[in-house]
Amino acid sequence: MLLYGFVYFSYTFYWLRSGMHDALEFTPSVEIKQDVNTDLRFPEGIKYNQPAVSNSRPDVTTVTPWLAPIMWEGTFDLSVIDAIYLHKNITVATTVFALGKYVRFLKDFLESAEQHFMVGYRVHYYLFTDRPDEVPVVTLGPGRQLTVIKTPSSDRWQEITLRRMEMIEKLIEERLVTEADYIFSLDVDTKFCGHWGSETLADIIAVLHPGYFGTPQREFPYERRPESVAFIPPEEGDYYYGGAVIGGRIGYVHKLTKTCHAQLDVDRANQIEVAWQEESHLNKYFLYNKPSKVLSPEYLWQDFKEKTSNMKVIRFSQVIKNYAEVRPNP
Ligand SMILES: CC(=O)N[C@H]1[C@@H](OP(=O)(O)OP(=O)(O)OC[C@H]2O[C@@H](n3ccc(=O)[nH]c3=O)[C@H](O)[C@@H]2O)O[C@H](CO)[C@H](O)[C@@H]1O
Ligand SMILES: [Mn+2]
């Protein structure tokens, strides 16, 4: 049991640059000990509805071309998933950054997370902030805890958002390898408004950005300059993923953050700042490292958007903010 969930980091780092738009590659990826976390052991004696043999959501795609499920309300039976995961005794690390004036979003974020996010599971929030005195006191449910990590801010919001990759990478190396099994990294200018639970657990998850669901790939706001490592040509790309949600098992997310961090460094050395900071690199990463589960826009909505008919439930949504007022620079 000591080795339960233990992650070995054994990276060899090399370049794969046959063309300008190849992403950096780390190989072999993190070696993860196969353990009780990944089997789908189901306890005896639990009754549930017989699985349907027709698609319960004909209005939306519920599976990617590489056969990863796309999570929509009505496609899963939570009682079945919880029966599998509740007895595994897992810890879910949740990183959130609240630098500068973004501390104001913490109260709603944390209070709503306590109501809706991974309820029944052990959750450990790791809160990065330069203003520990302004962290609100929020009563946490049983088995849930919060660690404040004092972090210097920056006078550029672009720097704050992209540096999350490096900070998550380090946090995983220094603490999460022994403290957690899964991790989610979430934007703080958000609120939970519906259930978000064990159905989101997977090796590596990505979320469909609500602004580009159904958009032709050539119109995705990918980085389009070939000089950038994040470059994606107009005829490539599966979906446009949002940078506000990343998650998965510790080792997989470590590989993701380490790769994106390295790619951001290469661009920086070449004096290129990509269109959407770490989100552009994340999209490049997922083009060549497909997510094993994809969250529908139910898991990342935007308050200003009119609810569409395929949205049976909104679970997590970006609140309306005055960009000029909350960010340190335009
Ligand atoms: C919905 C969505 O997918 N949002 C993404 C989008 O814009 P957003 O407008 O959502 O970016 P944002 O201003 O919310 O910044 C991302 C996150 O960085 C942190 N932060 C940012 C600025 C600051 O002064 N203090 C601070 O703490 C905070 O946790 C915030 O939630 O593009 C960004 C990169 O350009 C990120 O990829 C966001 O995740
Ligand atoms: Mn945001």
- Please tell me whether the interface predicted TM-score (ipTM) of this complex is above 0.95: yes
How far is residue 190 from each of residues 98, 209, 239, 317, measured CA to CA in Å?
12, 14, 22, 5
pLDDT at 29 over 60: no
Name residues contacting ligand 1 (CB within 6 A).
97-100, 102, 157, 160-161, 187-189, 209, 242-244, 276-279, 300, 318, 327-328
| CA nearest ligand 1 atom 9, residue | 323
pLDDT at 264: 98
CA 97–ligand 1 middle distance (angstroms) = 9
With cut-offs at 50, 70 and 90, classify the pLDDT of residue 37: low
* Ligand 1 atom, smallest distance to 210 CA: 1
CA gap 59, 188 in Å, rounded:
31
Average of per-residue pLDDT across 163-169 = 98
User: Which ligand sits closest to the CA of 188?
Assistant: 1
The encoded tokens of residue 89 equal 């005794």
How high is the pLDDT of residue 24?
65
Inform me whether the pLDDT recorded for 89 exceeds 50.
yes
Measured by CA distance, the residue closest to atom 22 of ligand 1 is 157
- Residue 31: its pLDDT value, please? 47
Strand order in the sheet with 316-318: 190-192, 316-318, 301-302
Q: Active site includes 279?
A: yes
Residue 9 has pLDDT above 50, yes or no: no
pLDDT at 50 over 80: yes
Q: Is the pLDDT of residue 35 over 50?
A: no
Mind listing the pLDDT tens digit for each residue in 92-123?
999 999 999 999 999 999 999 999 999 999 99
Interatomic CA distance for residues 208 and 89, integer angstroms: 29
**Rounded Cα distance, 158 and 283, in Å:** 17
Write down the pLDDT at residue 38.
77
Ligand nearest to the CA of 279: 1
Q: Is the pLDDT of residue 1 over 60?
A: no
63 among the known binding-site residues? no
The pLDDT, as a whole number, for residue 22 is: 57
Q: Mutate which of 161, 274, 317 to test ligand 1's pocket (most atoms within 8 Å of Cβ)? A: 161
Q: Say if residues 236 and 287 touch (Cβ distance below 8 Å).
A: yes
73 pLDDT band, cuts 50/70/90, is very high
Nearest-atom index, ligand 1, CA of 323? 13
- pLDDT at residue 231, as a whole number: 98
What is the value of pTM for the model shown? 0.92
Query: Is 323 annotated as a binding-site member?
Result: no
Q: CA-CA distances (angstroms) from residue 41 to 127, 153, 223, 261, 327? A: 33, 44, 42, 36, 46
User: Cα of 69 to ligand 2 centre, how many Å?
Assistant: 25
Question: Does pLDDT of 2 surpass 60?
Answer: no
Task: Work out the percent of the chain whose per-residue pLDDT is above 70.
Answer: 89
